[in-house]
Amino acid sequence: MNYRYSERLNRFSSSAVREILKLTQGNSIISFAGGLPAEEHFPVQAVGEAFERVLAQGNRALQYGLTEGYLPLRESICRRMARKGMNVTPADMLLTTGSQQAIDLLTRIYIDEGDVILVERPTYLSAIQVFQSYGAKVVSVDTDADGMDPDDLAAKIRQYRPKMMYAIPTFHNPTGQAWSLERRKAALQLCRDSGTLILEDDPYGELKFGDESVTYPTLFSLDQHPSGSCVVYTSTFSKTVAPALRTGWVIGDPDLIRNIARAKQANDLHSSSLDQQTLYQLLEHFDLDAHIRFVRTEYEARMRQMAGLLEEKHWPGVTWKEPKGGMFFWLELPESIDSAQLLKTAVELGVAFVPGATFYAESPRVNTLRMNFTHNDSDNTILGMNRLSQAMESVLVR
């Protein structure tokens, strides 16, 4: 059979993270690559009990569900969002198969081939994959520790007249930084004035470190909402409960949500209603906020351990900033080092990370890399960092 693939297939690139994850399965490689939560902190018993309560309701629990998602869970999420200053109803929300699907569905209904999407430099690699698969022109905006540079954002808006902007303002992937309030307001105003839709991706917002009094308001909460908002907001339970449940949500103007639902009907009819019912039962009978506080404390301890090890290694010319939340460290190496080549040496020594080039929409900086600090326990983190140190020293002395 001569398989005649569509030209669209050529727009799909393999995810560096997925490929590295395959490489590290079933062997002794310690991985700092994927955005993996700590498995030992999954609420296994509570999820199991929630699942049993769902099945106790009988056969109907296994029936098809609504495209928009299980209504009681949407109502529960609305109550949680209200605590973030986001006052929405279930009609303003759609449940998705992880927030990744929300990115795909919005791009599908909103972006035509050749449309410009602005992103941070660097940004989430799988969002770039989605945008490019639909033929969008992805343009980077200069970004520092406080967020998108307003001057560069304004210049790019004037030059490219973008249709959409994609951003992770709170505990950014890959850098772990958070936008200042001033930068949030500036970006919101520039996009509103220019008619640029903002897709706000917030998978890590609950994983905040440091001073509890410091808050990071969502762009959605800072805008008029939900009707007429220039922000579409998406988040997920993958980082706070468990990735395997694959349940996220997207919030926006009800007309946008209705059209996203039309695209979802053509995509998968609805996300797993069994998982959604289980999550609803979990929220009703389990203190998720206490669990998040516990996980946050554990992750901050792991972050500080890795920060201490980075300080201790003191690799010449290697710089990094302590993340304010989330799951990642972002390292910048001397200009002469290609982190993809460093990865080959690291894997031979039994440790993996993600080369930074994949997080750039254009003009990648190959002397960068991302490291996850949440997945490994203390002993494996020490062992992995020692292995990485061997790899690093082998390239730094060349």
CA dihedral 70, 71, 76, 82 (to 10 degrees): 120
pLDDT at 18 over 90: no
**pLDDT range class, residue 4, cuts 50, 70, 90:** confident
Q: Which pair of structure tokens corresponds to residue 367?
A: 């002397």
Is 108 strand, coil or helix?
Answer: helix
Rounded to the nearest integer, the mean pLDDT of the chain is 94
Secondary-structure breakdown of the chain: helix, strand, coil percentages, each rounded to the nearest 5: 45, 15, 40
**pLDDT range class, residue 16, cuts 50, 70, 90:** low
Q: Strand pairing of 351-352 and 328-332?
A: unpaired
- pTM of the model as a whole: 0.95
Give phi and psi for 330, each to the nearest 5. -120, 120
- Say what the pLDDT of residue 233 is: 98
Other C-beta atoms closer than 10 Å to the C-beta of 166 total 27
**pLDDT range class, residue 172, cuts 50, 70, 90:** very high
pLDDT at 93 over 90: yes
- Say what the pLDDT of residue 237 is: 97
pLDDT (tens digit per residue) in 113-127: 999 999 999 999 999
Which helix or strand (DSSP H or E) is residue 141 part of? strand 137-144
| Domains of the chain with bracketed CATH | 7-42+289-396 (3.90.1150.10), 44-285 (3.40.640.10)
Give phi and psi for 123, each to the nearest 5. -150, 180
- Say what the pLDDT of residue 19 is: 62
Please, which residues have CB within 8 angstroms of residue 152's CB and are 6 or more apart in sequence? 141, 142
C-alpha–C-alpha distance, residues 283 and 392, integer Å: 45
- Say what the pLDDT of residue 15 is: 57
**pLDDT range class, residue 20, cuts 50, 70, 90:** low
pLDDT (tens digit per residue) in 193-213: 999 999 999 999 999 998 877
- Say what the pLDDT of residue 372 is: 98
Give phi and psi for 163, each to the nearest 5. -90, -25
Mean pLDDT over 177-206 rounds to 98
pLDDT at 234 over 70: yes
Please, which residues have CB within 8 angstroms of residue 5's CB and are 6 or more apart in sequence? none
Bridge partner list, 354:
370
Mean pLDDT over 323-342 rounds to 96
pLDDT at 46 over 80: yes
pLDDT (tens digit per residue) in 367-380: 999 999 999 999 99
Which helix or strand (DSSP H or E) is residue 61 part of? none
pLDDT (tens digit per residue) in 304-332: 999 999 999 889 999 999 999 999 999 99
- Say what the pLDDT of residue 314 is: 85
CA dihedral 293, 298, 303, 306 (to 10 degrees): 180
pLDDT (tens digit per residue) in 349-359: 999 999 999 99
- Maximum distance among all Cα pairs of the chain, rounded to whole angstroms: 66
**pLDDT range class, residue 3, cuts 50, 70, 90:** confident
